[in-house]
Amino acid sequence: MKRLFLCRRVCFLLLWIMMSAALHAHEGQNQTIAIQMVNSKTGQTITSSEIEVSIRAATISAEKPGITPLYVRPSEDGIGTASFPPEASIISAHSHYSKAYWSYVNCDAVKDRREHWYPLKEILASGIVASNGCSKRKAVAKPGEFIFFVRPMTFGEKMKE
């Protein structure tokens, strides 16, 4: 009887250790999302410009350096994928400036002219579509997807650059 009780305790302890290790291994993995840049006027995904994704960690300290931005090249269907380190918490995306192409303006920043940040956990759990201040066009994101709207820069905006 005593031996059976001891065997159950050891089995329970081993099971607990294995589950704990599996949870920690999952937390340390990179987080991957699909990202789309959509023309607010046409609704078409933009494939001619890289997407620059800025990243912030949950905790920022003097000892811990910042996270280097990612540059995502969309595929022919306009969807790019980005993998983030485990410490990444929030992201901000916009068209990467290129002299070869007219740049774009993020439609989530048209009204308040500030950079918007989006929680990575929410993108992974339910998906996020950034607000569209340029038109009434809407989109639907699935879990793991981030969609943001842009419009081409005007000639005057381009000349200011």
Q: Which domains, and CATH codes, for the chain?
A: 30-160 (2.60.40.1120)
Q: Give the model's pLDDT for residue 94.
A: 87
Assign 11 a pLDDT band (cuts: 50, 70, 90): very low
pLDDT in tens, 32-65: 999 999 999 999 999 888 899 999 887 655 555 6
Asked if the model's pLDDT at residue 81 lies above 80, the reply is yes
pLDDT in tens, 88-147: 999 999 887 655 556 888 999 888 888 899 999 999 999 999 999 999 999 999 999 999
For residue 151, what are its two tokens? Answer: 């419009």
Q: Give the model's pLDDT for residue 156.
A: 76
